[in-house]
Structure 1
Amino acid sequence: NPKIATLIASLNETISANPLVLALSVDMPSGLDIAGSPSPLAFRANTTITMGAPKLGLFHDLAKDYVGELICADLGLCEGLYTSGVSSDFLLEMSDMRLPSRIIQNVNKGDFGHAFVACGDMSGAARLCALSALNMGAGRVSIVAKKKLKDLEPEIMLKRNFSGASAVAIGMGLGGELYDIDEILALPCVVDADMFYHPSVLSFCAKAGAVLTPHPKEFASLLAFAGFGEFSVKEVVLNRFALARAFSQKFPATLVLKGANTIIANASKLYINCLGSAKLAKGGSGDVLSGMILALLAQGYDPLLASITATLAQAKIAANYSGSAFSYTPKDMIKGIKCL
């Protein structure tokens, strides 16, 4: 309808010129389809009041810049009238975060696990992961490297194999470096980055104790290896809910599909973290997230709770950051772990 299109375009111009104006959408912003995919022209609300129960499409990455703050109106009726009774989709809140606790005092470093990080061609990624794990509560942290590392932080040990590990992270900055993964498969593990371009990643997919943390391009490669077919990055983004669920139906590993809204998929269920921000769009953020998950696995968390807690903690740290959004770095994130 040309009349409505002209109206929406005019409203969007007003909203853009005055960020303080209330731009209110009812149920779903005009121009978004039920899956959350926007038309070429869609209303950019800063507040959306949805009816009955939140729609999954409101949490699509492509909808994030159109939905704004989400409020659910119950219309005086119980939520059960709007849902199927047994939901397979869950919206995460900060109250779902379960940070490590050190209430018991008669403990030693061995009680909090030994986190290992496999180092590859780009050692900086492994170091970020290791420092993150150290700050997230792992009792000890080691980097496994096939070459000597210069200026390694004194708190981090250098190892030649994975003997003694409680949990392992592999993939970040791996490049062309290869490891015998049989030793890693016996342990809880985090798989990231370059591992998604190697066929051996399928061994981790079949492991219930593994957490896979791809971004959309890496997930496209993973889907090809896993027999789902060839997908472009755009197709992954458009179909992220369906693809994440299908992957979790086929494989026991926990999937953390990164994006504007992170999807955690486990046993056909989706857990959606919509609390992240553009501050996190910086190289190295994923390495720090992997380190946080690694530390929790080393401390005995199950993969799902480790993934939920780490992604929420990452969002909380970014929200706490008082500097400009574009200046946020992975090192700021690691510092922020200390203040959770």
Structure 2
Amino acid sequence: MGMEKWSGKLYRAEQVRRGERLVAVQQALDMYQLMERAGAAVFQVLEQGFTRQQHVLVCCGGGNNGGDGYVVARLAREAGFPVTLWQQGDGAKLHGDAARARDAWLAAGGQILPAGKAIPASIEVVIDALLGTGLKGEVRPEGQRLIAMINRIALPVIAIDIPSGLCADTGKVLGKAVKAQSTVTFIGSKLGLWTGQAAGYVGRIQFAGLQVADAFEQLEPPSAWLIQAPDVALSLPPRQRDAHKGDHGRILLAGGDLGMGGAIRLAAEAAARTGAGLVAALTQPDNVLSIAAARPEIMALGWQASGQTVAEHRLQWADVLVLGPGLGQSSWSQVLYNVLAKTQKSHVVDADGLNLLARSPDYKNNRIITPHPGEAARLLACSVQEVEADRFRAARVLQQQYGGVVVLKGAGTLVDDGNRCWVCPAGNPGMATGGMGDVLSGIIGALLGQGLSLVAAARCGVWIHSTAADRCAAEGERGMLASDLFPHIRQLVNPR
């Protein structure tokens, strides 16, 4: 996680601002001392990653984020780095702690230059201290110009607290944002660093508690939590030596309309590889032979729309239902959905199951839904842009409207049960390929079958799926297939 051991708790920007003021009062700290500590933490990252011959450009804005930049500039100059400091706007108008940091930089012999029209060729690393977590509306045109200039040169950038232009609460880019190689965030990690568009801007996130993080966490309840490996391991203890297949869940997966047999096969095999005791697939008759030939452990059964009792009998047999992989939206799909969706058993609804749910919305507390942003937009009757503009809000509204547990997929997948929200830090762009969602729904279904609660199955399933994909990505992101995850899934569900 970077510089310090970190709890995995996430906060809104306003919580951190309020909490740091309260902690400063509690500990009789001058707020300028926290600014000095913040600057020192960023300087430490600079010193660890670069040699003292490398020329540093520090870009400062008009607020306390700029003040942090002045501290970094002063420490770097004192350590022997060549440092150029650009002040966006009028440096004479800085006030409070930022003005104090500016004066300390000048007293140490530093110079303040206005932002130039081009970044000098001698610059080798940039410190982004332009805009902090207080940014609300879109970045102003002059700020956008400077951010575009920084991004164009593609040099390593260390962002202070958050890349300038990124919303600290949502991860949305507010017009234009700095693409950082590293982001050093302070006191409480910000929600917006971990989901949505943030993935393309934050680089490596490092945490600096500034010696007050523990006290801060006593004052402010988290707004969300990161899903972490130890939490997953606790949910997957070693199996009893006398266990049998009936102990680990009978999973029924329904879907695979004509031309989409691969989806139900992937979901079913994912369930088996995640440790389900018995796996059955209810699908179009044309798919049965190929599933049975490729993976004989899956009990594939062909289903016709007239065979309602067959579907009900299979559902009665099952402990858990996964409804939707390759289901389609034909009359066959609609009948199968109608027969199965009314179940009182724990179930996962994915893919076209979600599109059919959007047509006939209902509220259930025995269900996990796993929409990607497009499906979420249909479920909420809004645009994909609205979903992505505030993913935390979208996940919570989905849960309030549909019940159960919501898994909002995407960069920084969210899991929301209506009380708490978790963010998955794992995953990569190689996952943007057909079948990945089907594998996830199979994993979650298998975890439900092994006795995990809805929310634990969702959290663990998302983490296992994304972490398996990260292990696959060691061989390259492009060309990764959903089925490439299977050997890694098996390793991850057997934590050592």
Q: TM-score if structure 2 supplies the norm length?
A: 0.62
Instruction: Please give the secondary structure, in 1, of the residue aligned with 2:211.
Output: coil
User: Are the structure 2 counterparts of residues 91 and 44 from structure 1 closer, same or farther at C-alpha, using a change threshold of 3 Å?
Assistant: same
* Corresponding residue number in structure 2 for 1:222: 379
Shift of 1:64: 1.3
Residues 179-218 of structure 1 mapped to structure 2, 5 A cutoff: 179=336, 180-181=338-339, 185-199=343-357, 206-218=363-375
Shift of 1:293: 0.2
CA distance in 2, matches of 1:91, 1:183: 31
Shift of 1:40: 3.6
User: Which of 240, 254, 270 is the matching residue for 1:118?
Assistant: 254
Shift of 1:96: 2.0
* Corresponding residue number in structure 1 for 2:174: 39
Larger Rg: 2
User: Which of 313, 321, 335 is the matching residue for 1:168?
Assistant: 321
Contact 1:246–1:268, Cα closer than 8 Å, also in 2: no
Residues 1-340 of structure 1 mapped to structure 2, 5 A cutoff: 4-15=143-154, 21=156, 23-34=157-168, 35-81=170-216, 85-98=220-233, 100-121=236-257, 122-148=260-286, 149-152=288-291, 153-159=295-301, 160-161=310-311, 162-175=315-328, 176=330, 177=333, 178-179=335-336, 180-181=338-339, 185-199=343-357, 206-223=363-380, 230-321=381-472, 322-340=474-492
User: Are the structure 2 counterparts of residues 83 and 29 from structure 1 closer, same or farther at C-alpha, using a change threshold of 3 Å?
Assistant: farther
Comparing 127-136 with 170-179, greater Cα deviation is found at 170-179
User: Are the structure 2 counterparts of residues 199 and 32 from structure 1 closer, same or farther at C-alpha, using a change threshold of 3 Å?
Assistant: closer
Q: Which amino acid aligns with 1:331?
A: S
Shift of 1:316: 1.5
User: Are the structure 2 counterparts of residues 108 and 60 from structure 1 closer, same or farther at C-alpha, using a change threshold of 3 Å?
Assistant: closer
Segments of structure 1 that go 5 or more residues without pairing to the other structure are 224-229
Shift of 1:208: 2.0
CA distance in 2, matches of 1:72, 1:285: 31
Contact 1:118–1:143, Cα closer than 8 Å, also in 2: yes
CA deviation profile, 1:80-113 (whole Å, cap 9, x unmatched): 4378533341122222213644431112111111
User: Are the structure 2 counterparts of residues 41 and 140 from structure 1 closer, same or farther at C-alpha, using a change threshold of 3 Å?
Assistant: same
User: Are the structure 2 counterparts of residues 290 and 56 from structure 1 closer, same or farther at C-alpha, using a change threshold of 3 Å?
Assistant: same
Higher relative contact order (CA 8 A, sep 6+): 1
CA distance in 2, matches of 1:306, 1:115: 14
CA distance in 2, matches of 1:212, 1:3: 43
Shift of 1:209: 2.2
Contact 2:165–2:178, Cα closer than 8 Å, also in 1: yes
Shift of 1:249: 3.6
User: Are the structure 2 counterparts of residues 128 and 76 from structure 1 closer, same or farther at C-alpha, using a change threshold of 3 Å?
Assistant: same
Q: Which amino acid aligns with 1:113?
A: G
Contact 2:271–2:446, Cα closer than 8 Å, also in 1: yes
User: Are the structure 2 counterparts of residues 102 and 60 from structure 1 closer, same or farther at C-alpha, using a change threshold of 3 Å?
Assistant: closer
Q: Which amino acid aligns with 2:468?
A: I
Comparing 191-200 with 117-126, greater Cα deviation is found at 191-200
CA distance in 2, matches of 1:232, 1:92: 28
CA distance in 2, matches of 1:310, 1:336: 13
CA distance in 1, matches of 2:461, 2:144: 41
Contact 1:125–1:173, Cα closer than 8 Å, also in 2: yes
Shift of 1:189: 0.6
Contact 1:167–1:298, Cα closer than 8 Å, also in 2: yes
Contact 1:96–1:308, Cα closer than 8 Å, also in 2: no
User: Are the structure 2 counterparts of residues 261 and 78 from structure 1 closer, same or farther at C-alpha, using a change threshold of 3 Å?
Assistant: closer
CA distance in 2, matches of 1:202, 1:334: 34
Q: Which amino acid aligns with 1:215?
A: H
CA distance in 2, matches of 1:295, 1:202: 27
Instruction: Please give the secondary structure, in 2, of the residue aligned with 1:90.
Output: strand
Taking every aligned residue pair, what percent have the same amino acid on both sides?
32
The structure carrying a bigger helix percent of its residues is 2
CA deviation profile, 1:283-317 (whole Å, cap 9, x unmatched): 10000000000101111111111111111111211
Segments of structure 2 that go 5 or more residues without pairing to the other structure are 1-139, 302-309
User: Are the structure 2 counterparts of residues 328 and 222 from structure 1 closer, same or farther at C-alpha, using a change threshold of 3 Å?
Assistant: same
